[in-house]
Chains A and B, each alone.
Chain A
Amino acid sequence: MNLISFNKFYKKLNIISLILIIVSLLLLLFKGLNYGVDFKGGTLIEIRTNKDTNNISIIRDSFNQMNLGDVSVKKFGNETDFIVKFEKQNSNDPKFIKNIQSNLSESIGNVEFRRVENVGPKVSSELLRSGIIAIGLSLAAMLLYIWIRFEWQFSLGAIFALFHDVIITLGIFSLFSLEINLSIVAAVLTIVGYSMNDTVVIFDRVRENLKKYADIKIFDLTNLSINETLSRTIITSVTTLLALISIYLFGGEILKGFSLAMILGVVFGTYSSIYIANPILVFLKVSQKTIIKEEKD
C-alpha cells in the first residue's frame, strides 16, 4: 500500500492552524460577530416589492424617515426581495408593524411583508445565553463521551480539533460579517458532532493499530491510520458536502447561512481530524503502553 505522508506536514500545518486560530480569536475579540435580530433584538422584515425600480437606497430612505434607529437593507435572493433590519422593536404597540406597512406603501407603493421577526431585548439576551450554553454543553458532553471511550490523550486531541473547527468557522463569519442567528447555532452544534465523528473514526483505527504494532512509532502510526481510513474520510466528506452544497444552492435564502457554516465546518472538521487531532497524539507521545496501561486499570 502506498502511503501518503500526511505526517510530513504536521508541523507546517499546525503553525498555519495556530495562526488561523489566533487571527479568528482576534477577529472575534475586536471585530465581533454580526448578530441577527435573534441575539441582538430588533425587527427584521422580508419584503417583496412589485416594481423593479425599487432599489436599496429608495427603500433605505423610506425606512430612515420612520425613526426606527439603525436601518440596514439588503437584497435577498430575487431582484424584488429585500431584508430590512432595524434596532427598534415596539412590543407594546400592536400597530407598530401595520404602521410601517402603511407608511411604506405611501412612499414606494404596495409591498408584501413576507416575513416579520420582532424580538425584544429580554428574549434576545436569553436566546444568546441559551445558544452559548448549548454549544458549551455539547463540547462538554463530547469531552465526557470521548473520555469514557478513549484515553485522555485522545480526548485532548479530539477537543482541540473541535475548538479549532468552531473557532475558525466563527472567525470566518466575523471576517465577512455574516449573520449569526439561531440556525447558525444549530450549524455549529452539528459541526461539533461531525468533527467529532470524523476524529473518532481515525482514533479508533489508531488505537487498533497501537495494539497490533508495538514497533511503529506514533508519528508513523498516525500516518498509517489516516491512510487506512482515508477513502472513508473522503467519501463521507464528499457525500455530506454534496448534500450541503445542494442546500446552499437550492434550499432558499433562509438556509444560506446555515449551509455555509456547515460547509466550512465539514471542510475544517475533516482537516482537523487529520492535522490537529493526530499531531496531538504524537506530541503527547502516545504508545502501546498508553492503551495497555489503561486496559490493566
Chain B
Amino acid sequence: MLYFSKLRIILVLLFTIIISYFAISNFTKLDDNLFSKNINLGLDLQGGSYLLLEIDNRPVITQKLQSKIIEFKKYFKNKDIVVRNFSIDNNAIIFESKTDQIEKIQKILDDDNSEINPYFQQYKSHQFEFLIDNNIFKLSFSRYGLVLLKNSSLDQAIEIVRRRVDEVGTNEPNILKRGNDRILVELPGLDDPNRIKSLLGKTANLTFQFITQSSDQSFGTEKLQFDDGSEEAIVNKRIVLSGDNLVDAKPTMDSQTNETVVSFTLDRVGAKKFGKATSSGVGKRLAIILDGKIISAPSVREPIIGGSGQISGNFTFQSATDLALLLRSGALPAPLNIIEERTVGPDLGQDSIDAGILSLIIGSFLVLIFMFYKYKIFGLIANITLIANLFLLIGILTLFEATLTLPGIAGIILTVGMAVDANVLIFERIKEEIKNEKNLIIAFDSGYIKSRTTILDANITTLIAAFILFFMGSGPVKGFSITLGVGILTTLFSVYFIARLFTAYYVIKNKDKEKII
C-alpha cells in the first residue's frame, strides 16, 4: 500500500491541482478563458424569491368538456345517430341515446381508431372512459386523457409565465415544471416579489362586451362588477373581441385628457371584428373586461376601424404598464395559485454567507489544531489532506456548477469534522500494528489494508443518507446532501491518494526511527 509509481504520483498531483484551481477561480477575478464556471449560490445565500405555483385546472376541464360536447353533437349528427340532453356533471359528459343505437355508439367510443375518443393508438388508453346506464352515457376523462390535458395546459401556462417574468426583466430567472400541475419560479436577486406575484396571480383574460339594459338578449347576459367595486352592470355574453387578437399593448398618455391609458393594436382578424362591432354599436357602451371585472365601459362615439384603440380606467403609470405587460404576454389557460413562497432579502443572504464562512474558518481551525495536537507529524499530514480535501470539494462543486446553499455550507463544515475519521482509523490501526511488527513499512502497510473495509463501510452509510436526502429533499436541503455526498468522495480520494503519498514518503525516509507515530 505504500508504493506509488511515478506516474501515479503525477496523476494524483495533477488532478488535485486542476480541481483546486477550479475552486480558487471562484474567489479571484482571474480573467482567463480557461475556466469560467462558478458555484451557484442558492436563493438563501444570494437573496431572491422562490415561488411554487399550482394551476387550478377546473376551468380548463370544463372548457374542454364543453368543446367536446360540440364535437360530439356534430359527429353524431353526421352519422345519423340521435343523441340528446347533453349535460356536464362532476367533470363528466352525460347524454342520452335511442335504445337501439346504444351498441353502435358504444362501438364508436370503443374503437381503437376512434376519431371522437382518440389516443388509443399512442397510449393504449382512450381519452374518455364511459359508463352506460340504460340509454344514458356518462363519459369522464381517463387517466391519460386527464394527464394530457393537464400537461398541455401546464405547457401553455409555463410559456405565459416565462413571458411575464422576462418582461419584468429579472436576472436569470429559473422557471421549471413540477409534476403535471405546478410551476416553480426562482427569481435570484429579487428582494420584492410583490410585483411579479401580482402579475402571475392574474389570468389576464381580456374581453370586450357590450353593456345592455334588458336582460333578454340572444346570447344571454351576466352581471359584472366594476374593477373599483363602485357599481355593477349587465353585459351581453357575446364576446365582441378577446385578448387573443391583440398584437401589442403599451402604456401611453392620452393627449386630450392627460390621463395614462393602455393603447393596443389588433391583428387583422381582430381589427375587422372590432370595426364591425363598433360600427353597429355606435352610442352603446362597450365594457372592457379583465378576469371577470369591468375595467371601464366607454361609449362608442364612432366606428373604430384602424385596428387600434385604448383602454382608460384611472390607471397610474405603473398599473398601466402592468396591464400592458399582461396583455402583451397573453392570457393564462387557467388561474395560478401561489402555494409556496420563500423570499430572502439580499442583506440576510450576505449575512448568511459571512456567518457560514466564519464558522467554516473557525471549525476548520479547531479541527486542524486538535489533529496536530493528537498526531504531531501525522496530524500535519492529515491536515494537509483536509485542506486539499476542502479544495477538491469546492472545486468539484464548481466543476458541476452545483448550487451552494446555507445548509450546503454546513455540509462542508461537517465534512471537515468527519473527514479526519478515515485518517484517524488508519493511524490508530497503524499504532496497533506497530506493537507486534518491528518493520515499520510492513506495519504501515497492514495498517492501511486492515482499516480499509471499516472505512468503506463507515463512509457508505453516510453516503446512503446523503443519497436519500438528495432524492427526497428540496431546495436548501438538497444543497446539503450534495456537499455531504461529494464530501465523502473527495475525502476517500484525499485519504487514499494524497495522505497515503505523504505518509509513504515520510515512513520510507524515517523507517529506522523508534517511535514514529
In the complex formed, the residue of B with least CB distance to A231 is B428
Q: Report B-chain residues with C-beta under 8 Å of the C-beta of A242.
A: 363, 366-367, 370, 417
Given contacts A97-B194, A182-B474, A236-B418, A145 and B363 within 8 Å (CB-CB): no
Q: How far is the CA of A258 from the CA of B355 in the complex (A)?
A: 15
Contacts A91-B339, A244-B414; A115 near B345 (Cβ below 8 A): yes
Residues of B within 8 A of A196 (CB): 461-462, 465
Q: Do A94 and B356 touch (CB < 8 A)?
A: no
Contact between A193 and B466, CB atoms less than 8 A apart? yes
| Least CB distance, B161 to chain A, in whole angstroms | 14
Contact A186 B366 (CB under 8 A): no
Contact of B348 among A46, A95, A245 (CB under 8 A): A46
CA distance A259 to B200 in the complex (A): 37
- Is A29 an interface residue, CB under 8 A from the partner? no
Residues B472-509 near A (CB distance < 8 A):
472-477, 480-481, 484
**Judging by beta carbons under 8 Å apart, are B406 and A189 in contact?**
no
Closest to B355 in A: A252
One digit per residue, 1 when the CB lies within 8 angstroms of any chain A CB and 0 when it does not, for chain B 412-454 equals 0110111011001100100010000000000000000000011
Complex Cα spacing A258 to B200, Å: 34
Contact (Cβ within 8 A) A142 B464: yes
B104 CB to closest chain A CB (Å) equals: 44
In the bound complex, CA of A92 to CA of B203 (Å): 12
Of A3-11, A12-20, A116-124, A288-296, the one touching chain B? A116-124
- Alpha-carbon distance A19/B496, docked complex (angstroms): 43
The closest CB in chain A to the CB of B200 belongs to A94
Q: How far is the CA of A197 from the CA of B337 in the complex (A)?
A: 44
Interface positions of A from 141 to 159, Cβ below 8 Å from B: 141-142, 145-146, 149
Check if B343 sits within 8 Å of A116, measured CB to CB: yes
Contact B410 A251 (CB under 8 A): yes
In the complex, are the beta carbons of B477 and A141 less than 8 A apart?
no
Chain A residues with Cβ below 8 Å from B454 are 200-201, 204-205
CA distance A107 to B306 in the complex (A): 52
Contact with B along A195-208 (1 / 0, CB 8 A): 01110110011000
Contact partners of B348 in chain A: CB under 8 A: 46, 114-115
- Chain B residues with CB below 8 A from A232, complex form: 421, 424-425, 428
Which of these, A93, A113, A138, A236, contacts B345 with CB under 8 Å? A113
B13 within 8 A of A: no
B213 at the binding interface (Cβ < 8 Å): no
Are the C-beta atoms of A244 and B194 separated by less than 8 Å?
Answer: no
Provide the main secondary structure of the chain B interface. helix
Beta-carbon contact of B342 and A92 below 8 Å? no
B468 is contacted by which of A134, A146, A228, A244 (Cβ under 8 Å)?
Answer: A134
CA distance A244 to B341 in the complex (A): 29
Inter-chain contact B201/A240, CB cutoff 8 Å: no
Query: Which residue of chain B lies nearest to A119 when distances are taken between CB atoms in the complex?
Result: B340
Report Cα–Cα, A149/B407, bound state, in Å: 31
Cα–Cα, bound, A197→B463 (Å): 10
| CB-CB nearest in chain A for B455 | A201
In Å, the complex CA distance between A169 and B304 comes to 73
Q: Which residues of B contact A92 (CB under 8 A)?
A: 201, 337-338
Contact A141 B464 (CB under 8 A): yes
Is A247 a contact of B201 with CB atoms below 8 Å?
no
Closest chain B CB from A112 CB (angstroms): 7
Interface string of B355-372 (1 = CB under 8 A from A): 110111011101100110
Please give the number of chain B residues whose Cβ is less than 8 angstroms from any Cβ of chain A in the complex. 72
Decide if A239 touches B468 in the complex (CB within 8 Å): no
Cα-based distance from A149 to B459 in the complex (angstroms): 13
Distance, CA A130 to CA B468, complexed state (A) = 11
Q: Chain A residues with Cβ under 8 A from B363's Cβ?
A: 242-247
Contact with A along B177-208 (1 / 0, CB 8 A): 00000000000000000100110110000000
Counting CB contacts under 8 A, is A133 at the interface?
yes
Given that A235-B420, A251-B359 are contacting pairs, would A118 and B347 also be in contact in the complex, using a CB cutoff of 8 Å? no
Complex-state Cα separation, A255 to B407, whole angstroms: 7
A262 interfacial by beta-carbon distance below 8 Å: yes
Q: Is A86 close to B, CB under 8 A?
A: no
Residues of B within 8 A of A30 (CB): none
Which residues 91-107 of A sit at the B interface, judged by CB distance below 8 A? 91-95, 97-98
Chain A's nearest CB lies how many Å from the CB of B417? 3
- With a cutoff of 8 Å between Cβ atoms, the chain A residues found around residue B414 in the complex are 190, 240, 243-244, 247, 262
| Cα–Cα distance between A187 and B474 once the two chains are bound (Å) | 14
B281 to chain A, nearest CB (A): 35
Q: Which residues of chain A have C-beta atoms less than 8 A from B464's C-beta? A: 138, 141-142, 145, 193
* Interface residue A250 (Cβ < 8 Å from any Cβ of B): yes
The smallest beta-carbon distance between A230 and chain B, in angstroms, is 9
B52 within 8 A of A: yes
B-side contacts of A182, CB under 8 Å: 473-477
Establish whether residues A134 and B473, one from each chain, have CB atoms under 8 Å apart when the complex forms. yes
Whether B370 pairs with A116 at a CB distance below 8 angstroms is no
- A-B pairs with lowest CB-CB distance, top 7: A243-B417, A193-B465, A246-B363, A252-B355, A134-B472, A193-B462, A94-B197
**With A115-B342, A193-B466 already in contact, 12 other A-B pairs whose C-beta atoms are closer than 8 Å:** A116-B342, A120-B340, A127-B474, A182-B474, A183-B477, A197-B459, A197-B462, A201-B454, A204-B457, A235-B374, A243-B363, A246-B413
User: What are 23 of the A-B contact pairs (CB < 8 Å)?
Assistant: A94-B197, A113-B343, A115-B348, A116-B342, A117-B343, A120-B340, A122-B54, A130-B472, A142-B465, A182-B477, A197-B421, A201-B454, A204-B453, A236-B424, A239-B371, A239-B416, A240-B421, A242-B363, A242-B417, A247-B363, A250-B355, A251-B409, A255-B355
Interface residues of chain A, those whose CB is within 8 Å of chain B, are 46, 48, 91-95, 97-98, 112-120, 122-123, 127, 130-131, 133-134, 137-138, 141-142, 145-146, 149, 182-183, 185-186, 189-190, 192-194, 196-198, 200-201, 204-205, 228-229, 231-232, 235-236, 238-247, 249-252, 254-255, 258-259, 262
